[in-house]
């Protein structure tokens, strides 16, 4: 039995890989772990919807689930924060260093060559 | 009247001290001591400014700020007889408002930060992967250079795929040692009040520069801790590689953009000298490669004592009558 966090990942990956919205039963069939109880899949789908990562629409008596945003969009959201480009310099993360440009980058590049030579 | 005047003088002294600390370079030789001094100057400034207003307002009671305030707030009355009393009443309201603001700001900023981190953590759990080559570190598939720490009870160190290809194993080890230092010393908590003030008063040059100074000092403190576990030279080359990496920028809709130039995002604040980012990297590299003598222990002790005395004096002035 996988942990809930890992199951959330697996399910998101499945839904990201499909273009069409899937029902809980369809998602369950695509999970490799066949012993998984259908209610567990439903619980995880529900959790992901409540967190805003999935949108769901009614289809007869079942719900169909679809990612709220693409995987790339979420990667971008993480990296915008990581590179301090969100505009509000909050203290949410501590970052290693930033890339610079122009004459400044030239100075750094020279310093790097110098250090590598020794 | 004396307490109010001394507190006002103390507040002015704190502003002057902050100006001096922004320009100072000795701080780079003792970043931890300097960070403590910054914290002490900040707290003292808050206590002295609010204290000066309140001490003036409560002077007729002759019982000091703390007891005077307790008296006014419990009886909920403040006698206004002439114009002078009106000025005092204004000072009372201003002092209380400022005090409430200085307490509320870090609290709301803290709540906001916690929300941002929770969202970040949730996204990481869906997207980041573990890499056998770097155990305990989360890796995000992104071609640009990024390495950071998500602080909290369960802190996480995160790097991008691009970082893995940019750095040698030794350099990566150095970067991870640097990020673990942030985690262990909870540098995010040091930054929080400065970031909160900055958000509240975005037009204040002094606060902006103060925040930038503290940010740099924290990086230097983390460099110092990291160098105990890794080669300082490799940490320096890692810094330079990050600094000169082509800036690959994510756009909010998920596409990637490559700019030859500096990240042109809103992070670059107007009025901030353009050289800062590069100059900061060079300053860190220089002190890693050519370590200069640290500040002697007695001097550091003197500075620490001074910090304590500074804050304690503001607290005392809140208590003394008159």
- DSSP letters spanning A67-116: ESS-HHHHHHHHHHHHTT-SS---SS-EES-----HHHHHHHHHHHHHHH
A93 Cβ under 8 Å from any chain B Cβ: yes
Scan residues 63-102 of B and list those with Cβ closer than 8 Å to A: none
Q: Confidence class of residue A89 from pLDDT cuts 50, 70 and 90? A: low
pLDDT score of B316:
92
Q: Please report whether residue B181 resides in a domain.
A: yes
Residues B281 and B139 in one domain: yes
Instruction: Judge if pTM exceeds 0.95.
Output: no
| pLDDT value at residue B311 | 94
Residue B204 sits in the same domain as residue B87? no
Which of A44, A47, A78, A116 to mutate against chain B (most B CBs within 10 Å)? A78
Q: Contact, A83 vs B258, CB < 8 A? A: no
Sequence-distant (6+) residues with CB within 8 A of A68 are A52, A53, A54, A55
Q: Do A74 and B251 touch (CB under 8 A)?
A: no
Domains observed in chain A: 4-67 (1.10.10.10), 71-117 (no CATH)
CB A108 within 8 A of CB B278: yes
Q: Where are the alpha helices (DSSP H) in B142-249?
A: 161-166, 169-185, 187-200, 205-226, 232-244
Please tell me whether residues B281 and B151 are part of one structural domain.
Answer: yes
Q: Is residue B119 part of a domain?
A: yes
Asked, for residue B264, whether it belongs to a domain, the answer is no
Q: Is residue B121 domain-shared with residue B15, that is, in the same domain? A: yes
Chain B residues in contact with A101 by the CB 8 A cut-off are 247, 259-262
Q: What is the pLDDT of residues A90-115, one digit of tens each?
A: 667 877 877 777 778 888 888 888 88
Locate the DSSP E strands across B11-145: 129-131, 134-140
The answer as to whether B257 is a domain residue is: no
Beta sheet of A54-59, edge-to-edge order: A22-23, A62-67, A54-59
Contact status of B204 with chain A (Cβ, < 8 Å): no
**What are the b/e assignments for B219-236, b being 16+ CB within 10 Å?**
bbbbbbbbbeebbbbbbb
A62 contacts chain B (CB < 8 A):
no
B112 and B139 assigned to the same domain: no
Tell me if B184 is assigned to some domain: yes
Beta carbons of A84 and B267 less than 8 Å apart = yes
Judge whether B259 lies within some domain.
Answer: no
Residues B302 and B214 in one domain: no
Q: Would you state the pLDDT for residue B72?
A: 83
What are A53-87's pLDDT values in tens digits? 999 999 888 899 999 999 999 998 898 888 877 66
Q: How many residues are there in chain A?
A: 118
Interface contact A12-B211, CB threshold 8 A: no
Domain around B301:
1-127+294-322
Put simply, whether B130 touches A (Cβ < 8 Å) is no
What's residue B294's pLDDT? Answer: 79
pLDDT tens profile A8-45:
999 999 999 988 899 998 998 888 776 788 888 999 99
DSSP β-ladder status, B256-259 and B247-250: antiparallel
- The whole-angstrom distance between A85's CA and the closest CA on chain B is 5
- Residue B170 covered by a domain: yes
Same domain, B281 and B160: yes
ipTM, 2 decimals?
Answer: 0.86
Mutation target for B interface from A3, A50, A52, A101: give the one with most B CBs within 10 A: A101
What pLDDT is recorded for position B261?
A: 38
User: Is the Cβ pair A92, B120 closer than 8 Å?
Assistant: yes
Same domain, B104 and B30: yes
Q: Which of B278, B157, B284 is nearest to B220 (CA)?
A: B284
Residues 226-265 of B with CB under 8 A from A: 233, 236-247, 249-256, 259-263, 265
Residues B291 and B277: their CA atoms lie apart, in Å, by 21
Residues B120 and B108 in one domain: yes
Q: Say if residue B226 is in the same domain as residue B113.
A: no
Mean pLDDT of chain B: 86
Helices and strands (H and E) in chain B: how many: 11, 6
Which residues on adjacent β-strands are paired with residue A56? A65
- Asked if B194 and B307 sit in the same domain, the reply is no
Residue B252: per-residue pLDDT: 58
**Quick one: pLDDT at residue A90?**
66
Q: Does A85 touch chain B (CB under 8 A)?
A: yes
Contacts of A47 in chain B (CB under 8 A): none
Residues B98 and B161 in one domain: no
Number of domains, chain B = 2
Q: What are the contacts of B96-100 at 24+ separation with CB within 8 A? A: B96/B54, B98/B49, B98/B50, B98/B53, B99/B50, B99/B54
B163-210: per-residue pLDDT in tens?
999 999 999 999 999 999 998 899 999 999 998 888 888 899 999 999
A17 touches chain B (CB under 8 A): no
Instruction: Write the CA distances from A56 to B123, B173, B242, B318, integer angstroms.
Output: 19, 43, 41, 58
Chain A residues close to B233, C-beta within 8 Å: 115
The pLDDT value given to residue B225: 94
Q: What are phi and psi of B130, to 5 degrees?
A: -90, 145
Residue B285 located in a structural domain: yes
Residue of B nearest to A69 (CA): B253
Task: Please answer yes or no on whether A82 and B160 come within 8 Å at the CB atom.
Answer: yes
Those residues of chain B that have pLDDT short of 70 are 76, 246-275, 322
């Amino acid at each position: 039995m996988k942990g809930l966090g890992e199951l959330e990942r697996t399910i998101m990956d499945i839904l990201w890989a499909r273009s069409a919205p899937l029902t809980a039963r369809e998602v369950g069939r695509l999970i490799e772990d066949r012993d998984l109880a259908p209610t567990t899949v439903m619980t995880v789908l529900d959790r992901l919807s409540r967190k805003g990562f999935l949108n769901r629409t009614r289809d007869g008596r079942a719900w169909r689930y679809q990612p709220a945003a693409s995987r790339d969009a979420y990667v971008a959201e993480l990296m915008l924060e990581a590179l301090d480009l969100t505009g509000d310099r909050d203290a949410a993360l501590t970052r290693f260093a930033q890339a610079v440009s122009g004459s400044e980058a030239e100075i750094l590049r020279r310093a790097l060559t110098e250090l590598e030579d020794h | 009247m004396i307490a109010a005047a001394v507190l006002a003088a103390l507040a002015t002294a704190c502003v002057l001290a902050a100006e001096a600390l922004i320009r100072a370079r000795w701080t780079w030789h003792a970043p931890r001591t300097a960070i403590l001094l910054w914290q002490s100057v900040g707290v003292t400034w808050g206590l002295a400014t609010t204290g000066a207003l309140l001490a003036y307002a409560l002077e007729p009671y002759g019982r000091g700020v703390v007891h005077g305030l307790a008296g006014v707030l419990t009886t909920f009355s403040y006698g206004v007889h002439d114009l002078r009393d009106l000025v005092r009443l204004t000072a009372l309201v201003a002092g209380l408002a400022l005090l409430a603001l200085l307490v509320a700001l870090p609290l709301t900023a803290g709540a906001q930060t916690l929300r941002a981190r929770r969202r970040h953590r949730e996204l990481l759990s869906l997207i980041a992967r573990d890499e056998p080559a770097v155990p305990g570190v989360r890796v995000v598939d992104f071609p640009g250079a990024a390495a950071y720490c998500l602080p909290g009870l369960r802190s996480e160190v995160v790097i991008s795929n691009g970082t893995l290809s940019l750095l040698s194993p030794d350099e990566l080890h150095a970067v991870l040692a640097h990020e673990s230092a942030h985690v262990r010393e909870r540098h995010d908590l040091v930054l929080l009040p400065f970031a909160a003030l900055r958000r509240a008063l975005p037009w204040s040059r002094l606060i902006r520069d103060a925040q930038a100074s503290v940010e740099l000092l924290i990086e230097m403190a983390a460099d110092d801790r990291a160098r105990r576990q890794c080669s300082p030279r490799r940490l320096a080359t890692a810094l330079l590689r990050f600094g000169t990496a082509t800036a690959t920028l994510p756009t909010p809709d998920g596409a990637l953009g490559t700019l030859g130039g500096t990240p042109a995002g809103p992070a670059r604040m107007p009025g901030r000298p353009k050289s800062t980012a590069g100059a900061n990297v060079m300053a860190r590299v220089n002190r890693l490669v050519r370590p200069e003598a640290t500040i002697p222990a007695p001097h550091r002790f003197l500075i620490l004592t001074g910090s304590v005395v500074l804050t304690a004096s503001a607290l005392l002035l809140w208590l003394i009558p008159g």
